[in-house]
Structure 1
């Protein structure tokens, strides 16, 4: 199946996406720094320099805003995968784009993994029950878009073939395991090397260590 055409994002859509990202980052930063219960929508709107109404136009809740950051990262991974060299092996391409999106100082606005206060706050935030349902929804949307990019790259059909959906699910699981392992391992396990190990193992067919 030939790759689908993807028109460049229009200015209006790009601005909306940038606003979503800014609101999501502000929500994460405040919830990690202050704690879930000590952050109101008014605080987030002020931190992002927008009105509460603008926040409500984009998100239904703090949890929705936080989950949007995960979805945005996976959308960037899908976009980056589409422009990797066609001759590059699929899993080499996947590892390259995933590492780029999780690298320190990337576009996500994340703090370095060695910032212990940030890590501790992030653990608490991710354990918040209100966030779990929104993360499930974000994962489903992320896998759908990633499967489309993989189908384009591999010449498969996302509606008929299981392969692109399977790869998308494996990529999502690999990223989730890497983040969880990095946050919970003592001493610190830097995220990018963990990602590299995970995707090297996946590419090798997950042989028993």
Structure 2
């Protein structure tokens, strides 16, 4: 029996298997390289069939970015839930500050981030996933009212650029710099002038 919210046993089991497959794939990608790791390698290491892998992920790239849609939806929901009178930029800043750890936790290892940055197929998939996320967040920002579509897109793109800059600085420091402080610096530098 399910609760209707995705917390039933079957849904939890599916999420656990998906997470295990993703962790196995990522471990192999970091160890061997993305291009040198096949779906068959991942399936064998995880103890499943190739067909089972494709039940959870449409491609090996998706094993790296599999939960991006869920995160995008939850971040958009967080934008919607912010106080109505809050300025849009401060709304985005607060939401990304609250979500910086879950977003970063999806790729906590600097080695994985370097792999994404240096692998054309992963960089391309990252770009697509980020655009999908930005579209959902911009729509949520627009739905709050008081903005036109252009400004919602612009602010959401700037917030994404702030997050990207913080991530790159964090990566260059091998994770030694405080990610929250980097994100705060980036948002401060890009704050729209009244």
TM bucket (normalised to shorter chain) is 0.7 to 0.9
Structure 1 residues 193 and 49: alpha-carbon distance in aligned structure 2, compared to 1, 3 A threshold: farther
For residues 109 and 162 of structure 1, the distance between their equivalents in structure 2, rounded to whole angstroms, comes to 30
Contact 2:138–2:156 under 8 Å retained in 1: yes
Which of 67, 92, 95 matches 1:94?
92
Unaligned 5+ runs, structure 1: 1-8, 112-117
Is the Cα–Cα contact under 8 Å of residues 150 and 167 in structure 1 kept in the other structure? no
Q: In the alignment, which of 122, 130, 133 is matched to residue 113 of structure 2? A: 122
Aligned residue runs from structure 1 range 3-14, under 5 A:
10-11=5-6
Measured in 2, the distance between the counterparts of 1:43 and 1:99 equals 37
- CA separation of 1:69/1:177 partners in 2, compared to 1, >3 Å: closer, same or farther? farther
- 1:182 and 2:173 matched: no
| Higher deviation after alignment, 188-197 or 53-62 | 53-62
- SS of 1:36's equivalent in the other structure is coil
Measured on the aligned residues, the alpha-carbon RMSD in Å equals: 3.5
After TM superposition, the structure 1 stretch with the greater mean CA deviation from structure 2, 164-173 or 191-200, is 164-173
Determine which structure has the larger helix proportion and give its number. Answer: 2
- Aligned residue pair count: 186
Q: Where in structure 2 are there 5+ consecutive unaligned residues?
A: none
Select between 86-95 and 48-57 the one with higher mean Cα deviation: 48-57
Judged with a 3 Å threshold, the aligned counterparts in structure 2 of structure 1 residues 163 and 43 are, in CA distance, closer, same or farther, namely same
8 Å contact from structure 1 (residues 81, 94) kept in 2 = yes
Instruction: Give the Cα–Cα distance (whole angstroms) in 2 for the partners of residues 49 and 95 of structure 1.
Output: 42
- Cα deviation, residue 183, structure 1: 0.5
> 2:176 is paired with a residue of what secondary structure?
coil
Kept after mapping to 2: 8 A contact 1:24/1:69: no
8 Å contact kept, 1:30–1:39 = yes
Structure with the greater relative contact order (CA < 8 A, sep ≥ 6): 1 or 2?
1
CA deviation profile, 1:93-114 (whole Å, cap 9, x unmatched): 22222122222x7794543xxx
Taking structure 2 as the reference length, the TM-score comes to 0.73
Please give the residue correspondences for 1:165-180 in structure 2 after superposition, counting only pairs within 5 Å: 165-180=153-168
**TM-score of the aligned structures, taking structure 1 as reference length:** 0.68
Distance 1:188 1:148, change over 3 A: same
* Contact residue 92 and residue 156 of structure 2 kept, 8 A: no
